[in-house]
Amino acid sequence: MPLAQTSTIVPVVIDDALCIADKGCTVCVDVCPLDVLRIVEGPDGSPVTAHMKYDECWYCMPCEADCPTGAVTVNLPFLLK
């Protein structure tokens, strides 16, 4: 499957040190209307931290507002900032 690798910069950043995905938190993933956040899993499949998987962000903020530990920062997508 010859799809190219095009690099992109994603607007949403997670502070791994604060994220408690390992305790079962998926709040940011749950609330995102565009469904672009995911939980990174460790080698054993256990949750580690959240990250932005798809660069399709409406810069709307629920992920940041609802994160219980303040781990999420929403920046504006470069193309429009």
Alpha-carbon gap, residue 46 to 73, rounded angstroms: 24
Q: From the CB of 40, what's the least distance to ligand SF4, in Å? A: 10
DSSP 19-55: --GGGT--HHHHH-TT--EEEEE-TTS-EEEEEE-SS
Q: From the CB of 23, what's the least distance to other proteins, in Å? A: 3
Draw the binding track, 34-63, toward other proteins (x: CB under 8 A; -: no contact). Answer: xx--x--------------xx-xxxxxxx-
Binder of residue 42, out of ligand SF4, other proteins, none (CB less than 5 to 8 A by kind): none
